[in-house]
Amino acid sequence: MNEQNPLTEKQKLILDYISEHIQNMGYPPTIRDICGAFEIKSPNGVMCHLRALEKKGKITRNLKLSRGITIEGVSIGGFSIPLLGIVAAGKAIEAVEQNERLELKDLFPMQNVYALKVRGTSMIEGQIADGDYVLIRRQETADNGQKVVAMVDRAMTLKKYYQRKDFVELVPMNSTMTAIRVDPKVNDIQILGVLVGVVRKCM
């Protein structure tokens, strides 16, 4: 902190609030959020504090974005658990204790990623079961063989994607089910994203 130009008590509180919001929620607060948190009636009051924090080098603002506040060194929080070592799923191996943590946000980067809960068993042979949560990276294109979430005539499905000569084939990973063939000239089809992870709770 610049001792010649220290923060006021209210500025400290607002800076802490912004930092915690970014870490806990994954994005910065809006001016309206800050108004509500501190019972400030006028957005101009919040703007004065933000301008002061920016002038003192505590925040950076992108005025074109409603959530355009960033703080150097403060990033989206995550969920981490102790990583104690490696366990064999085949031949037993010597236990070597580790003192690390597994940070899930590093496995599944949160930018443009959303979650969906799976209903049904069409992907069971791809280790995706009914009740699992799939993490989907938002994108509008996919390569053949990728697992995608597709919207076909306003119905959403998780399947393997294949672009054929005259149609799109959405293939289940369940040998008892048949593929869905979609003619783009007849049906509306959109790729909503590509699978990047699966989360399962074991009872």
- Of the listed ranges 1-5, 69-73, 92-96, 114-118, the least confidently predicted one is 1-5
Helix and strand totals (H; E) in the chain: 4, 11
CA distance 3 to 5: 5
**pLDDT of residue 95 exceeding 70:** no
From residue 168, alpha-carbon distances to 90, 137, 157, 164, 185 in Å are: 39, 20, 13, 6, 11
CA distance 48 to 42: 10
CB neighbour list of residue 127: distance below 8 Å, 6 or more residues apart: 198
pLDDT digits (tens, 9 = 90+) for 104-130: 767 776 567 888 999 999 999 999 999
Of these residues, 159, 165, 185, 201, which one is catalytic? Answer: 159
- State the fold for domain 9-70: Arc Repressor Mutant, subunit A (1.10.10)
Residue 5 amino acid letter:
N
- Of the listed ranges 15-29, 73-87, 115-129, 151-165, the least confidently predicted one is 73-87
In this structure, CATH architecture of domain 113-199:
Ribbon (2.10)
Q: What is the pLDDT of residue 97?
A: 65
Of these residues, 58, 122, 147, 160, which one is catalytic? Answer: 122
Active site residue 175: no
All CATH 2.10.109.10 domain ranges in the chain, comma separated = 113-199
Apex 34 CA angle, 31 and 36, nearest 5: 110
pLDDT digits (tens, 9 = 90+) for 22-58: 887 778 899 999 999 999 999 999 999 999 999 999 9
